[in-house]
C-alpha cells in the first residue's frame, strides 16, 4: 500500500458527491420554471398534479439529491469507510434518482401512466440500493451521528414505501385505503423523519465545526433524534387507529410534541451560533441562521394551527407551512452546507494530487476555498434566494407575485449552479497544470 492509495482511501473520488451536488440546482431550475408555468393555480390544491410535481422536484430532485451526495462524502469521516466501488455505485444510484425524479414529475404533469410506472421502479431501486449500501457501511460503527443516520435511513424507507404505494393510484389506478391519511404520513416521514433527522445528525458535526461554537448539549445529542423518531412512530399509529374515531385532538397533541422537539433543535442551533468564536462574515452562517429561524417559524405555525382550528382550515395554511419548512429551513441549510463542502473538496482533491509521491507533478499553489467559490457571489445567491422565499410567501396573499417569486427562484438556482460549476472548472484547469 502506498501513500497515494491512502490519500484516496480517506475520501471518495470527487465525482462521487459532486455529481449529486451539480444535478440538484438543475431540479431547482425545473421547479422554478414549473412555478412560473403554473402561476397562481399552483396554490389551488395541495393534491393538484402540478403541485405534486413541484413538491417532488424539490424534495427528490434537490433535497434528496444533495443528501445522497453528502452522506456518501461523510461516510469516511463519520464511519471511517468509503462505499465499495464508489464511482460505479454512485453513478448507478445517481442515474436512478435523476431519471426517477424526472419521470415522476413529468408523469404527474402530463398524466402519463407509463412514465409513472417506470418512475416508481427507478426511484424504488435508487432508494433501496442507497439504503442497503449506506447501511452496510454503518453496520460496525457506533455513535450519536450514526444512530441519527440509521433512523434517517429508516424514515427514508418508510417514506419511499408509502410513496410507492400512493403512486400506484396515479400509475395503475389502484387507490390505497385511507389514502389522504397515508399521504400525510408519507410527507411527515419524508420531511421530518428523513430530511429533518438527517439535518440534525449532520448539524451535530458541522455547526460546531464551521463556526467554532460549543458542542450541542450531550444529553440532547444522545436523545433528541431517537425521541423524535419514537414520537413520529407513536403519531403514525395514533393517526391510523384514531382516524375513524374522531379523536383527532390526541393525534394533534402528539404532533405538537414533535414540533416542540424540532424547536429544541432550532433553538439550540441559534444559541450555539450566537456563542460562536469565529466572528468573521460567512455565507454558510447566514443560511443556517435564517434556516433555524425558518424551522422555528414553521413549528410555531403548526402549533398555532392545532390550537386555532379555524387557522388550520384556511387554504393558505398547509402551503405556508410547507414553504416555511422546506424553503425556509431545509433548502437554506442545504445550500449553506454546499458552500463549505464543495470548495473544500475541490481544494482537498487538488492537494492530494500533489502529495502523490509516485507521480511527477508540478508543485503549484492550490487555490484556497475562497478562490474556489467567491464569497461575494455566494452572498448574492443567498440574498436572491431569500428574496425568492419572501416573494413566494407573499404570493399566498397576492397570487400574481408568484411570477416574481418564480423568476427570483430561477435566478437563485441558476446562480447556485454557476457557482458550483465554476468551482469544478477551476478544479479541472488547476488539475491540468499540476499534471502537465
Partner 1 sequence: MEATITQVFSKEHSNCDKIFAQAENLVANKQWAEADSEFNKFYTAMEKHFTAEEEFLFSTFEERTGHTMGPTQVMRMEHQQMRQIFAQMQTSLAQQDDEQYLGLSETLLMLMQQHNMKEEQMLYPMIDQALANEIATIFERIRASA
84 binds partner 1 (CB under 8 A): no
Residue 348 CB, shortest distance to partner 1, in Å, is 7
348 binds partner 1 (CB under 8 A): yes
Residue 47 CB, shortest distance to partner 1, in Å, is 43
6 binds partner 1 (CB under 8 A): yes
139 binds partner 1 (CB under 8 A): no
| Grid cell of 300 as nine digits | 410555531
Question: Closer to partner 1 at the Cβ: 142 or 428?
Answer: 142
Of residues 159 through 218, those in contact with partner 1 by CB under 8 A are 205, 209-210, 212
Residue 270 CB, shortest distance to partner 1, in Å, is 19
CA geometry: angle 431, 433, 436, nearest 5 deg: 105
Residue 417 CB, shortest distance to partner 1, in Å, is 22
371 binds partner 1 (CB under 8 A): yes
SS3 labels along the chain: CCHHHHHHHCCCCCHHHHHHHHHHHHHHHHHHHHHHHHHHHHHCCCCCHHHHHHHHHHHHHHHHHHHHHHHHHHHHHHHCCCCCCHHHHHHHHHHHHHHHHHHHHHHHHHCCHHHHHHHHHHHHHHHHHHHHHHHHHHCCCCCHHHHHHHHHHHHHHHHHHHHHHHHHHHHHCCCCCCHHHHHHHHHHHHHHHHHHHHHHHHHHHHHHHHHCCCCCCHHHHHHHHHHHHHHHHHHHHHHHHHHHHCCHHHHHHHHHHHHHHHHHHHHHHHHHHHCCCCCCCCHHHHHHHHHHHHHHHHHHHHHHHHHCHHHHCCCHHHHHHHHHHHHHHHHHHHHHHHHHHHHHHHHHHHHHHHHCCCCCCCCCCCCCHHHHCCHHHHHHHHHHHHHHHHHHHHCCCCCCHHHHHHHHHHHHHHHHHHHHHHHHHHHHHHHHHHHC
Question: Closer to partner 1 at the Cβ: 56 or 340?
Answer: 340
Burial letters 164-183, b for 16+ CB under 10 A, else e: bbbbbebbeeeeeeeeeebb
Question: Closer to partner 1 at the Cβ: 18 or 391?
Answer: 18
Interacting stretch for partner 1, rule CB under 8 A, among 7-15, 237-245, 313-321, 406-414? 7-15
Residue 419 CB, shortest distance to partner 1, in Å, is 15
429 binds partner 1 (CB under 8 A): no
Phi–psi pair at 84, nearest 5 degrees? -65, 150
String of contacts with partner 1 for each residue 306-345, x by CB under 8 A: ----------------------------------x--xx-
359 binds partner 1 (CB under 8 A): no
250 binds partner 1 (CB under 8 A): no
78 binds partner 1 (CB under 8 A): yes
Residue 423 CB, shortest distance to partner 1, in Å, is 13
Q: How far apart, in whole angstroms, are the C-alpha atoms of residue 301 and residue 79?
A: 37
Q: How far apart, in whole angstroms, are the C-alpha atoms of residue 239 and residue 162?
A: 15
Question: Closer to partner 1 at the Cβ: 245 or 279?
Answer: 279
Residue 277 CB, shortest distance to partner 1, in Å, is 4
10 binds partner 1 (CB under 8 A): yes
Question: Closer to partner 1 at the Cβ: 184 or 354?
Answer: 354
Of residues 254 through 293, those in contact with partner 1 by CB under 8 A are 277-280
Question: Closer to partner 1 at the Cβ: 11 or 64?
Answer: 11
Task: State the number of binding residues for partner 1 (CB under 8 A).
Answer: 30
Cβ atoms of 373 and 343 within 8 Å: the answer is yes
369 binds partner 1 (CB under 8 A): yes
Residue 10 CB, shortest distance to partner 1, in Å, is 5
Residue 14 CB, shortest distance to partner 1, in Å, is 15
Interacting stretch for partner 1, rule CB under 8 A, among 2-10, 53-61, 116-124, 228-236? 2-10
Interacting stretch for partner 1, rule CB under 8 A, among 4-12, 119-127, 227-235, 419-427? 4-12
Binding interface with partner 1 (CB under 8 A): 1, 3, 6-7, 9-10, 77-78, 80, 143, 205, 209-210, 212, 277-280, 340, 343-344, 347-348, 351, 355, 365, 368-371
Amino acid at each position: 500500500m502506498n501513500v497515494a492509495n491512502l490519500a484516496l482511501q480517506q475520501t471518495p473520488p470527487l465525482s462521487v458527491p459532486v455529481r449529486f451536488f451539480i444535478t440538484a440546482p438543475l431540479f431547482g431550475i425545473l421547479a422554478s420554471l414549473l412555478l412560473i408555468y403554473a402561476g397562481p393555480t399552483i396554490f389551488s390544491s395541495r393534491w393538484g398534479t402540478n403541485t405534486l410535481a413541484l413538491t417532488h422536484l424539490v424534495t427528490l430532485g434537490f433535497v434528496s439529491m444533495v443528501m445522497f451526495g453528502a452522506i456518501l462524502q461523510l461516510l469516511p469521516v463519520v464511519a471511517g469507510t468509503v462505499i465499495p466501488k464508489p464511482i460505479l455505485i454512485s453513478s448507478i444510484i445517481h442515474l436512478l434518482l435523476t431519471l426517477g425524479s424526472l419521470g415522476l414529475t413529468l408523469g404527474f404533469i402530463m398524466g402519463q401512466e407509463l412514465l409513472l410506472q417506470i418512475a416508481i421502479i427507478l426511484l424504488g431501486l435508487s432508494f433501496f440500493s442507497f439504503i442497503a449500501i449506506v447501511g452496510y457501511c454503518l453496520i460496525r460503527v457506533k455513535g450519536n451521528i450514526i444512530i441519527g443516520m440509521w433512523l434517517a435511513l429508516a424514515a427514508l424507507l418508510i417514506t419511499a414505501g408509502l410513496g410507492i404505494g400512493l403512486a400506484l393510484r396515479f400509475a395503475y389506478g389502484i387507490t390505497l385505503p385511507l389514502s389522504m391519511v397515508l399521504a400525510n404520513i408519507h410527507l411527515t416521514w419524508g420531511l421530518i423523519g428523513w430530511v429533518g433527522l438527517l439535518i440534525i445528525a449532520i448539524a451535530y458535526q458541522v455547526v460546531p465545526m464551521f463556526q467554532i461554537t460549543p458542542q450541542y448539549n450531550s444529553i440532547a445529542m444522545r436523545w433528541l433524534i431517537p425521541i423524535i423518531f419514537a414520537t413520529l412512530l407513536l403519531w403514525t399509529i395514533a393517526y391510523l387507529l384514531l382516524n375513524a374515531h374522531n379523536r383527532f385532538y390526541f393525534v394533534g397533541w402528539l404532533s405538537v410534541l414533535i414540533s416542540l422537539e424540532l424547536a429544541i433543535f432550532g433553538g439550540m442551533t441559534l444559541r450555539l451560533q450566537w456563542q460562536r468564536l469565529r466572528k468573521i462574515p460567512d455565507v454558510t452562517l447566514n443560511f443556517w441562521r435564517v434556516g433555524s429561524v425558518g424551522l422555528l417559524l414553521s413549528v410555531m405555525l403548526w402549533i398555532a394551527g392545532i390550537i386555532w382550528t379555524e387557522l388550520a382550515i384556511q387554504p393558505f395554511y398547509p402551503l405556508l407551512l410547507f414553504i416555511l419548512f422546506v424553503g425556509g429551513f431545509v433548502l437554506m441549510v442545504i445550500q449553506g452546507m454546499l458552500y463549505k463542502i464543495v470548495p473544500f473538496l475541490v481544494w482537498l482533491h487538488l492537494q492530494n494530487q500533489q502529495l502523490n509521491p509516485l507521480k511527477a507533478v508540478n508543485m503549484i499553489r492550490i487555490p484556497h476555498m475562497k478562490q474556489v467559490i467567491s464569497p461575494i457571489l455566494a452572498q448574492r445567491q443567498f440574498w436572491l434566494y431569500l428574496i425568492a422565499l419572501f416573494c413566494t410567501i407573499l404570493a399566498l396573499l397576492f397570487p400574481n407575485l408568484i411570477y416574481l417569486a418564480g423568476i427570483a427562484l430561477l435566478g437563485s438556482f441558476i446562480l447556485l449552479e454557476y457557482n458550483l460549476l465554476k468551482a469544478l472548472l477551476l478544479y479541472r484547469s488547476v488539475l491540468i497544470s499540476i499534471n502537465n
